[in-house]
Amino acid sequence: MNASFDIDDPILTTREAAGLLGVAVSTVQVWMESGALPAWKTPGGHRRMHRSAVMQLVQQQAALTSSMAPAPARPVQPQSEFAFCPGPGYPIGPLEAQRLNAVRDSGLLYSPQEAVFDRLTWLAAHATDCPMALLTLLSARRQWFKSRIGMEQRESTRGSAFCNHTILHDGLFVVEDARADPRFAANPMVTGEPHIRFYAGYALKDANSLALGSLCVLDREPRRLGQREQRALRELAAIASDEIKRHA
């Protein structure tokens, strides 16, 4: 991209853009790499962008946040949400009891909507060109969406959660065509709304490396992610994990 000087549209550094957007410099770097924030490199290798591009992203985020319905007030959940149950009918890891305690202690389950997480799901959908993106938390009984794009429902049963598999993986967990996968072909989220065909997600971990949920993208058509899209999703999941650690 060739930069042109315009006194009414000044050129910004990455740090200046981060200040306008209210996010970390590392977040802006991910946005530039994913193409969500148009930028170019100087001969010295530094990223630069026009202020108009940054303000357009600010406006897009503001419109997204204002268009999303606020999370309904939820009562304090019973201890059964975090009670470990052997053989629950979905895959679990050897540290499931500790993981459930970590979900409880995070205070994130059924917590109010937060712009920092909404930005990450918006960018995940944008970077991968997927119509749906979720930031999920898994209790013993259900999968709850801390943030969501393109999904009407706010939660699902734990048994129908694709993220049950994601939290058992250190890397990317992908289902390219759920109808052709015996693990998911009869899943109610595949046979009915939202008719999931494609899923890709990374686990979100706390300071003790316990997976509380995932950042994932979904589509209603079978597909694959390219290397650039996988990298973008991985970086966004790392940022989400850092935010989760800040809640501790």
Burial of 214 (0-12, 13-18, 19+ CB in 10 A): buried
Both 179 and 235 in a single domain? Answer: yes
CB count in 10 Å sphere of residue 138 = 25
Residue-level pLDDT at 248: 65
- Is there a domain that residue 234 lies in? yes
CB count in 10 Å sphere of residue 188 = 12
pTM of the entire structure? 0.71
Residue-level pLDDT at 66: 55
Per-residue tokens: 81: 């949400």
Please list the ranges in the chain whose pLDDT falls under 70: 1-7, 34, 61-79, 248
Q: What is the CATH number of the domain that holds 28?
A: 1.10.1660.10
Say if CB 112 and CB 60 are below 8 A apart.
Answer: no
- The torsion angle over the Cα atoms of residues 98, 104, 109 and 112, rounded to 10 degrees, is -140
**219/222 Cα distance (integer angstroms):** 7
Residue-level pLDDT at 74: 44
Residue-level pLDDT at 10: 86
Residue-level pLDDT at 70: 52
- Is there a domain that residue 33 lies in? yes
Q: What are phi and psi of 224, to 5 degrees?
A: -135, 165
The number of distinct structural domains making up the chain is 2
Residue-level pLDDT at 53: 86
Both 140 and 236 in a single domain? Answer: yes
Listing DSSP states for 221-237 in one string gives S-----HHHHHHHHHHH
Residue-level pLDDT at 80: 72
Both 148 and 180 in a single domain? Answer: yes
Residue-level pLDDT at 65: 52
Both 42 and 108 in a single domain? Answer: no
Both 179 and 231 in a single domain? Answer: yes
Residue-level pLDDT at 50: 87
Both 53 and 124 in a single domain? Answer: no
Helix (H, G, I), strand (E, B) or coil at 146: strand
- Is there a domain that residue 98 lies in? yes
Say if CB 232 and CB 202 are below 8 A apart.
Answer: no
- Is there a domain that residue 186 lies in? yes
- Is there a domain that residue 1 lies in? no
Residue-level pLDDT at 78: 61
- Length of the chain measured in residues: 248
- Is there a domain that residue 4 lies in? no
Both 138 and 27 in a single domain? Answer: no
Structural domain that includes position 148: 79-247
Both 195 and 232 in a single domain? Answer: yes
Residue-level pLDDT at 55: 83
